[in-house]
Chain A
């Protein structure tokens, strides 16, 4: 790890422009919320290939499907609730059933905009989307992953959901890192417990692993940046070694990363497991750091929960 810190929205904006320059088939759809975030630069560079559909996400998602089935590679962005929940049936029927190249960018996932309250703080997006066939879900952990996720999504012949956090991200990977969709990345090797995480929780988990190491607990930290499909082999290999698994996610523990990992373990290596995340609640309002502290998602609090789990199991 080095000290580079990046704004995911800026990284994605640059990636979209680069992709758009290389591939004339790439279109960008906005719903009155993303030009200031990831799509503004694309709009300036390629105005003919940018379509604004206003505050009407059901239509926008249907349009995305219509473009994609006509041969276009579509990126569509808005705040997570509006680009997932509001148009869920269009995502399922028009995008996933047809398996077209629509890449849904969910802006401000998790507690990104924690001051805006529960209508905008969405802790169930992975839960609803991972239950639809054909979709790939990516939750990048650093700037390199955000950048590569855009190019990877364009290459996948089918729908992709990319979760985009508003918090700036620290580099967790080396410059020559190449993300592979469906493959986890072991950031710290350990023998005593496997901690599997993604997105904003990756640096918190690494911090927790350091704290645990000082107490003689050797934790393995795994970045599961593809949430669907999860990396079955990585889960099995690590859990066979450590015998105990903890998942950490800035999401409801119902049908999120923890559930995806549990679905693998229960069938193939049923070890003791703990899910750290939001326990089926609507979010409290506050600053980002206050809120994640409240829900026990800081490095020290994750470390304490892992230690307690290891003592009990």
Chain B
């Protein structure tokens, strides 16, 4: 079983909280989908630092693993992680939501290195990920494809069309990670439209499924190091997460799906997440 050392975990915590701070600095523009960005940030941090085969200096490298953010509105997290990885300068982050920015509220593959596909309309990413994974098979390449979906997003019928196709075509170089933060725009997912039980649904669609704590780097690393879970089947990781994780006054509140904020609130938020970082680091000891 692959395990992370305490030092490795501390590095990951420092990175993910540095990304949270950068995202909050971007939020000085007054608004953004912070809730889903913070719930999925630890997953993306682990993927880019420990799992994905990629080269920030050569984003078009043919052998790279592909990452599709199907829930495109969580892209604040992806921007922060890609900048941390060196895909582009941090200065680009501070242009967030400015006129003709390269980092808009939904990601654009033509404007920013590291973005594989433009997403934003929910329910599109898994089909695209399927085909990228099938292309690896056609071209006899070894790359893998990872997609992050939201649990609210799973109400889109097209997610299940793609889920059906992935198992039908036995796409086992594909991993879907569901960021199950339990909240969507209008409230709790169980109240708006209950997309669960997600594990049973994906299993019945022919996927091999594991459930993890989406903020526990050790757990995430263990499952993501054991892919595919079953030969000939696509892998699904249902990651239990907390919406707006790390910003305690916004945690598990649907109002923070898309936060409209004032400058002084952002300054306060930065001190809150830095305090949370200290708590997370102390838990490792």
**In the assembled complex, how far is the CB of residue A145 from the closest CB belonging to chain B, in whole angstroms?**
30
Alpha-carbon distance A97/B111, docked complex (angstroms): 12
Q: Given A58-B158, A90-B124, A97-B118, is A63 in contact with B138 using a C-beta cutoff of 8 Å?
A: no
**In the assembled complex, how far is the CB of residue B99 from the closest CB belonging to chain A, in whole angstroms?**
19
Determine the chain A residues whose CB is within 8 A of the CB of B135 once the complex forms.
66-67, 70-72
Q: Given A48-B138, A51-B169, is A94 in contact with B128 using a C-beta cutoff of 8 Å?
A: yes
* Pairwise interchain contact A94-B165, C-beta atoms closer than 8 A: no
Determine the chain B residues whose CB is within 8 A of the CB of A66 once the complex forms.
117, 127-132, 134-135
A245 at the interface (CB under 8 A from B): no
How many B residues face the partner with a CB closer than 8 A?
Answer: 28
A98 at the interface (CB under 8 A from B): yes
Alpha-carbon distance A62/B126, docked complex (angstroms): 8
* Pairwise interchain contact A59-B132, C-beta atoms closer than 8 A: no
- A82-110 CB mask vs B (1 if < 8 Å, else 0) is 00000001100110011000000000000
Determine the chain A residues whose CB is within 8 A of the CB of B169 once the complex forms.
51
A133 at the interface (CB under 8 A from B): no
- B122-158 CB mask vs A (1 if < 8 Å, else 0) is 0111111111101100100000000000000000011
Determine the chain B residues whose CB is within 8 A of the CB of A93 once the complex forms.
118, 120-121, 124
Determine the chain B residues whose CB is within 8 A of the CB of A97 once the complex forms.
118
B265 at the interface (CB under 8 A from A): no
* Pairwise interchain contact A62-B120, C-beta atoms closer than 8 A: no
Closest to A53 in B: B165
- A123-141 CB mask vs B (1 if < 8 Å, else 0) is 0000000000000000000
Determine the chain B residues whose CB is within 8 A of the CB of A98 once the complex forms.
109-110, 117-118
Determine the chain A residues whose CB is within 8 A of the CB of B126 once the complex forms.
62
Q: Given A62-B131, A66-B131, is A94 in contact with B124 using a C-beta cutoff of 8 Å?
A: yes
A54 at the interface (CB under 8 A from B): yes
Determine the chain B residues whose CB is within 8 A of the CB of A27 once the complex forms.
138
**In the assembled complex, how far is the CB of residue B160 from the closest CB belonging to chain A, in whole angstroms?**
9
Query: What are 22 A-B pairs at a CB distance below 8 A?
Result: A27-B138, A48-B138, A56-B164, A58-B123, A58-B161, A59-B162, A62-B127, A62-B128, A63-B131, A65-B117, A66-B129, A66-B134, A66-B135, A67-B132, A67-B134, A67-B135, A70-B132, A71-B135, A93-B118, A93-B120, A93-B121, A93-B124
